[in-house]
Chains A and B, each alone.
Chain A
Amino acid sequence: MRCSRLLALALAFCLLWGLTACAKTGGGPAEQPAMEAEEHTLTIWAWDDTFNVKAANLAKAYYAKTDPGVQVDIVTMAQTDIITRLNTAFSSSNYEGLPNIVLIEDYRIQNFLKSYPGEFRDLSSIVDPNKFMEYKLRVMTEEGKIYGVPFDSGAAALFYRTDYLQAAGYTQEDMQNLTWNEYIEIGKDVKAATGKYMLTLDPSDLGQVRIMMQSAGAWYVKEDGESVDIAENEVLKASLSTYQRMVDSGIALQVSGWDPFVKAFQEGEVASVPSGCWVMSNIVKAEEQSGKWAVAPIPRLDGIPESVNASSIGGGSWYVLSSVPGADLAVDFLGKTFASNEQLIDDLVKDISLVSTMKSAKDLKYRSEPSEFFGGQRIYEDLAAWTEQIPPVNYGLYTYTMEDIIAQSLQSIMQGADMDETLKNAQTQARASVLHS
């Protein structure tokens, strides 16, 4: 009897042992390696394959020399998509699939910094404020802390076709330090002489208006970045009427979206591109037009004494997301590349026609070289000089929200509505939307 009881015990033990063995095999391998792999992978989001994506790739190559163990994934994504994804992620605190480093346009960064404090890493440790231009740093500085690494200059310039202008009887001398009225007159002559439009305008994107406003140090908001400044904004009014005159004079090709904008100058449909210097990488792509281009300072507003022949449009900077694993590595990456590496900047000038916002970049080799494409002009020097004259502006948080409203108002004005009345409505509308957002 005792014998069988002992056996039962042994059997029970065996069963138990078998069960625990089962349970043990159920567990997967440790998740340690996955975490470690993440630590050595960086993801970067940018939006322009010919420009900032290319820049990131170059930086990756430079970084690989110092730290070959790190894998850097660079993803091209539409800018609006990037903004949507960041907003979604921040508002839900779900950081899955977000990059470590992201390029954000200067107009938008204030909104992010104010709406989601703590989501971006303080980069004061790697960014030396003396090294970069002030107008650029201002938008990414919050309570004395610098949250981004300035990348491209948004310096506006007037790129134009020397051949078309010559056909209309204008020399390069004639193109220096124009006012917009003079520019429109020239445009009319060009149109008459060559049948080509002077420039493209995108009714949904008021880049031209922004260029004009910043040339006078004005914006949709006052200097505090918060008070809506539309109805009483003389600079805005002057800009809008200039825009209207451009349209009415018939020198502007209406395009919608990026692709027709680029195609217009690449296919020789327009005689000039008054835009940010980042557009250069697309201009030089049309190699058959080499030597036919020149760069002049951006025109200034008539009747506005503060307006200078320098302005800015767009331009972006690199930011590090603090909640995505690998933030320290990302900081190291930026610190060793865009924040300090002048050799990299020099290469970028050569490869993507970057106009850097790094002050010391002035002395670099390529920067002083004459550009063959632009007829031997030392464009980088010129652009750098203009960049330094850009009046600083506090873009505030809602540039694009207000631009939607202004674009609509502009259409009304062009359809014949009274400007003061329309802008008064716009002011109310803008204030409401700012309060609501």
Chain B
Amino acid sequence: MEKILEKLRSNSLLLKILSVMLLSVICVATLTLSISIRASEDVYVDTFTESNSQIIGQIRENMGRFNDEISEIMSVIKNNWAFRSYLTSEDRSSATASYTQYSMVWNLEHALPPDYFEKMSIVLVGVNGSSYLSSDAGLTVSVEELLDSAVTQETRRQPNRILYQYVDDGFTTLTQGDSAIVASTGLNYAGGQSNYGYAYVVIPQEVLRDFYSSFSSDANSLMLLDSEGRIISSTQKELIGFKNLELLETAQQVEENSLPYGEIVQSGRQMAVVAQEIPHWNFHLVGLIDRESILRAVGSYKPIEIMTLLVVLCVFAIMFLVVRKTTRPIHSLVAEMKQVTQGDFSRHIPVEGNYEVRELATAFNYMLDGLDSYMEQIMTIEDEKREAEIRALQMQINPHFIYNTLASLKWMIWQGNSESAVQAIDSFSRLLRGTISKREERIPAAEELDNLKDYVFLQHLRFGEQIQVRFSLAEDCRNCLMPKLTLQPFVENAFFHAFSGAEEGSIFVSVRRRGNDLVSEIIDNGSGMKQEEVGRTLSTGGKADHFTGIGIKNVDDRIKLLYGAQYGVSISSEPGKGTAVTITIPAQEKESKDPTNL
């Protein structure tokens, strides 16, 4: 978890760019897709509606022609003597009657256009009770019933028009039990008031449907509405016979305002309504177009959606690769820089990647170099300064030491102990020469020990010889160089602090090799100290009556300065038992051509 978060954080630039890009690509794709789908749907629906209007126009034309044919038949029936004679004459058995009927049938058959009129029945009814039916069909109602029917009554009111009316039961055996449209007209003498008969053309639903059924599909339905809003014919058979005033109103609005289409909600579906009035028939031809179904017919958008998704994925993949390629150098730059912040100025950043990053890396490296050398310079100066300081301290012989030593000498001379005094003056002068006069920084171990012996001699002169000091110098270490006054501060420290109040004690100083190192040890059997005091001892500087300004701490600093951090001073001590100081430096022989040393 942590790791993933860390990884994410380190790639945040890549992530940000990618997420912004992905978002915008998705937005653009979705927007384009939805807009284009919407637009194509609109275009499709409009086209469909437009073509439906044209279809309706065509159906209207066909129905107009149909009306022409019917009115032609009606006019034959009205004007031909045989029909009039058949419907008015009481004679039904004579040769004349035979001829009348023969002529009537012959005329009617020749007036009928071929084909679809065979599906229709032409019914003639006379007020005298006679009737005639074309085709093999029969009447399912009696002549009297037919004359009393609503269809006939309406015809009686407007006998000289051709009326188209809806009937629930199309009174012939061909349309038995089925609804039908009946075209009817009254038959009368020109200018006559009363009708001697009526002519009907019974048009089965099937025939009407033939006018438009080939134009309908799942998405659209076509229907005929009469002036009362009754659906008298429809591609959806179950609707026939029902009134739909809402639809009629919409259709009328479309017709009156010549709208391309109207809108209506039918059984919860949004429908477009195209409509035209059919002249003569007094019907409204209405097309209902179900937007949803049309769109379903358009087919699914899945392929397009999948395509878009694929394109988005491809674009994203390309983007990912490109962006990653661009940001990777920056990313590694950042990683490299992080190391620099941990203080390592020596690491250079690899110069690679695109131009900007390469420039950046070069500049960074240049800066790093500058920084590095500057730092080094500072370090060197620091070191030099410190060395100079230590050297200065080395040079400083504590005046108190000199006073005290001189006072001891004076005391010896005053006692007449001139031999000892001479010896002491020799030691003192040797010590001064060794420490102050000699310019060398480092001296052979033997010389250092000699100086130490002189110092111890002088201290014995002053304080008596209760504290014994023994020296051990390995033969192979005689010429090994060590910084001047390395051992002295520790011996001094042992003199002053290790034996507080004790009658006597001993200090053991040894110098020997251990491998390539030169190990010097100052061991006393004094009171020792606790571990925490050891640290304090190491960090404190020299005291007023010490031999030089160099304290224990300075020794350690100086060794580290000279030889490196792995060298230095270590102190181990135990209260009541004593203290052991170990000084480790590399064993370096003095070149033998130097003749000045002992």
Contacts and interface: CB of A to CB of B under 8 A. Distances in A.
Given A22-B303, A80-B118, A84-B114, A415 B132 contact: no
Contacts of A254: 92-94, 97-98, 100-101
Contact of A84 (B101, B115, B321): B115
B484 to A, nearest CB: 69
Interface of A: 3-4, 7, 10-11, 14-15, 17-19, 21-22, 25-26, 47, 49, 78-81, 84, 197, 201-204, 244, 247-248, 250-260, 262-263, 407-408, 411, 414-415
Contact of B135 (A4, A78, A201): A78
Nearest to B143: A263
A258 B318 CA distance: 84
Q: Which of A14, A78, A253, A408 has the most CB of B within 10 A?
A: A78
B461 interface: no
Contact of B137 (A78, A197, A252): A78
Contacts of B97: 254
Interface in B92-109: 92-95, 97-106
Interface stretch (B20-28, B227-235, B309-317): B309-317
Contact of A257 (B135, B302, B304, B307): B135
Contacts of B106: 204, 408
B126 to A, nearest CB: 12
A248 B138 contact: no
B166 to A, nearest CB: 23
B94 A250 contact: yes
Interface in B316-348: 317-318, 321
A7 B319 CA distance: 11
Given A26-B299, A257-B135, A258-B138, 20 more contacts: A3-B321, A7-B318, A11-B311, A14-B314, A17-B310, A18-B306, A18-B310, A21-B306, A25-B303, A78-B135, A84-B115, A204-B105, A251-B93, A254-B100, A256-B104, A257-B105, A258-B136, A262-B138, A411-B99, A411-B102
Nearest to A198: B93
Nearest to A3: B321
B119 interface: yes
B314 A415 contact: no
Contacts of B131: 259-260
B360 interface: no
B95 A415 contact: yes
A204 B318 CA distance: 88
A203 B321 contact: no
A256 B105 contact: yes
Interface of B: 86, 92-95, 97-106, 114-115, 118-119, 131-139, 173-174, 299-300, 302-304, 306-307, 310-311, 314, 317-318, 321
A414 B96 CA distance: 8
Contact of B139 (A7, A10, A79, A259): A259
A203 B99 contact: yes
A47 B138 CA distance: 12
Contact of B132 (A78, A250, A256): A256
A254 B97 CA distance: 7
A259 B310 contact: no
21 contacts: A18-B303, A78-B135, A79-B136, A80-B118, A201-B98, A203-B102, A204-B105, A250-B94, A254-B92, A254-B100, A255-B101, A257-B132, A257-B134, A258-B136, A259-B138, A408-B102, A408-B106, A411-B103, A414-B95, A414-B98, A414-B99
B133 A259 contact: yes
Nearest to B322: A4
Given A25-B302, A254-B97, A10 B310 contact: no
A407 B103 CA distance: 10
Nearest to B300: A25
Given A78-B174, A84-B114, A257-B135, A11 B95 contact: no
Q: Which 6 pairs show the lowest CB-CB distances between chains A and B?
A: A203-B102, A259-B138, A22-B303, A18-B307, A414-B95, A81-B118
Given A247-B95, A251-B93, A254-B92, A80 B105 contact: no
Contact of A22 (B105, B307, B314): B307
Contact of B95 (A19, A22, A47, A248): A248
A258 B172 CA distance: 12
A363 B132 CA distance: 43
B58 to A, nearest CB: 22
B548 to A, nearest CB: 73
A15 B133 contact: no
A159 B99 CA distance: 26
A373 B321 CA distance: 100
B403 to A, nearest CB: 87
A81 B119 CA distance: 7
A291 B299 CA distance: 69
Contacts of B92: 253-254
B114 A250 contact: no
Given A15-B311, A18-B307, A259-B137, A204 B132 contact: no
Nearest to A4: B318
A204 B306 contact: no
Given A21-B306, A257-B136, A415 B118 contact: no
A401 B341 CA distance: 117
Contacts of A263: 138
A26 B137 CA distance: 48
Q: Which of A81, A263, A407 has the most CB of B within 10 A?
A: A81
A21 B302 CA distance: 10
Contacts of A79: 136
Contacts of B99: 203, 411, 414-415
Q: Which of A17, A21, A78, A259 has the most CB of B within 10 A?
A: A259
A232 to B, nearest CB: 25
A203 B98 contact: yes
Contact of A204 (B102, B115, B133): B102
A254 B105 CA distance: 12
Given A3-B321, A203-B98, A247-B94, A78 B118 contact: yes
Q: Which of B92, B93, B104, B317 has the most CB of A within 10 A?
A: B93
Nearest to B91: A254
Given A47-B136, A84-B114, A259-B137, A252 B93 contact: yes
Given A18-B306, A84-B118, A204-B106, A260 B132 contact: yes
Contacts of A202: 101
A95 to B, nearest CB: 17
B297 to A, nearest CB: 12
Contacts of B104: 256
A302 B134 CA distance: 35
A35 to B, nearest CB: 22
Contacts of B318: 4, 7, 11
Contact of A247 (B93, B118, B306, B310): B93
A81 B300 CA distance: 44
Given A7-B318, A80-B135, A81-B119, A203 B105 contact: yes
